[in-house]
Amino acid sequence: WDATVKYDETTLYDLQDYVVKEDRSNLDIAYEVMLKYGIFNMPLEEKEVNGKTVYSVGEGYMIISLNDEITTEDVAAIAALSPKAVVFKESGFVNDNAKMNADYTFKRLGIDNVKCI
């Protein structure tokens, strides 16, 4: 966090997809998510779901997907893992419909802890 930086409206709009510093890996972000959720003592493993890499925390307790072009099929494959919590990258969905369908899919399955970062 750099409180000295000042952005105008145009700059903020241009940075809307710039969520993290460029030199951070998805694994770095996954560990940060774990810290923020207070689950830093659970194991983390990479899994491939529907051809995309996701991070499984605590043997499936949480799934972290930091991919781009997340589709409804990707969401269904993640939901099939029955996680208690799911974290996506805000700009990762292929379109708004995929994001809305993801929310509906998880709620229908009783998975209420779904966040976008």
Asked whether residue 107 is domain-assigned, the answer is yes
pTM: 0.83
Q: What is the mean pLDDT of each run of 10 residues along the chain (117 residues)?
A: 64 57 86 92 95 96 96 96 95 94 95 94
Q: Are 108 and 33 in contact (CB under 8 A)?
A: no
Number of domains into which the chain is organized: 1
- If we measure between CA atoms, which residue out of 81, 82, 78 comes closest to residue 92? 78
Residue span of the structural domain in which 64 resides: 21-116
Asked whether residue 3 is domain-assigned, the answer is no
Bridge partner list, 20: none
Asked whether residue 51 is domain-assigned, the answer is yes
Asked whether residue 54 is domain-assigned, the answer is yes
Asked whether residue 64 is domain-assigned, the answer is yes
Asked whether residue 105 is domain-assigned, the answer is yes
Asked whether residue 96 is domain-assigned, the answer is yes
